[in-house]
């Protein structure tokens, strides 16, 4: 999925009612199937941008086009349906449901979208096998290592075959070696599935592994 963002603005009010201009006419373009990393200091708006890109938040003005679809023109119900069918999310903290095993956690998005239990189960087993966890199907999150938990989260994000994968510090809670393995997996899936990948990271070494690298500074994205 090709992404093109132009003139994106976003502001917030602070605790004293002052307006904070976070994104100041930001531009961004990424070809379908490519990968990009976004770096920058804490508090510069990286997660805000990713949330807007994923329709979890709304920009104040500008254009966000996925192929020929302008997200800024969508109604809330339309953007929600678009997100569920088109976008996968991976966060720093895996957000797995502790009372459910790995297989059940991965099945949930497919069941929510109305897939049959049989279809959801077969798809989830295939994805867990793809991320190297077929022998951990029935393990709960507490029985998995940090890297394994994040692999389950990656499989869950891919359940509905998203065209766009958004990752917010996916290795930030992992040690260096486990983080490297998770990054390798993300890039492998990006290449094999042709899923467009946008990732936020503080790890400069990992950021260099994507097709392109951007720095968010003073409300704007600049390619490095």
* Inside any domain, residue 8: no
Give every CB contact of residue 25 below 8 A, 6+ residues apart in sequence.
7, 8, 9, 62, 219, 220
pTM for this model (two decimals): 0.87
| Residue-level pLDDT at 205 | 87
| Mean pLDDT split into 10-residue runs, the chain, 224 residues | 94 86 96 96 93 94 91 90 89 84 94 91 92 93 91 89 90 80 85 92 90 96 93
DSSP H or E run through 112: helix 102-112
CATH of the domain at 136: 3.40.50.300
**Residue 83 within a domain:** yes
Identify whether 65 is part of a domain: no
85, part of any domain: yes
Residue 29 lies in a domain: no
In a domain, 42, yes or no: yes
Provide the pLDDT for residue 217. 96
Residue 47 domain-assigned (yes or no): yes
Residue 67 counted as domain residue: no
Q: How many independent structural domains does the chain possess?
A: 1
| Range(s) of the domain holding residue 89 | 34-59+75-223
pLDDT at 132 (0 to 100): 87
pLDDT of residue 120: 94
In whole angstroms, what is the distance from residue 206 CA to residue 137 CA? 29
């Amino acid at each position: 999925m090709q992404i093109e963002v132009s003139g994106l603005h976003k502001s917030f009010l602070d605790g004293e009612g002052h307006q904070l201009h976070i994104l100041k006419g930001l531009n961004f373009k990424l070809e379908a199937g490519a990968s990009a990393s976004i770096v920058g200091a804490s508090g510069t708006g990286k997660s805000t941008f990713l949330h807007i890109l994923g329709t979890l938040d709304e920009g104040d003005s500008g254009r966000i086009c996925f192929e020929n679809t302008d997200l800024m023109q969508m109604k809330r119900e339309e953007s929600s349906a678009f997100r569920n069918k088109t976008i996968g999310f991976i966060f720093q903290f895996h957000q797995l449901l502790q009372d459910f095993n790995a297989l059940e956690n991965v099945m949930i998005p497919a069941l929510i979208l109305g897939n049959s239990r049989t279809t959801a189960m077969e798809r989830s087993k295939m994805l867990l096998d793809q991320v190297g966890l077929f022998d951990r199907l029935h393990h709960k999150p507490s029985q998995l290592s940090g890297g394994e938990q994040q692999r389950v989260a990656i499989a869950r994000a891919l359940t509905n075959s998203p065209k766009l994968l958004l990752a917010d510090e996916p290795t930030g809670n992992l040690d260096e070696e486990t983080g490297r393995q998770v990054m390798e997996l993300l890039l492998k899936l990006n290449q094999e599935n042709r899923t467009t990948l946008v990732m936020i990271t503080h790890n400069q070494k990992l950021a260099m592994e994507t097709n392109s690298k951007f720095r968010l500074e003073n409300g704007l994205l600049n390619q490095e």
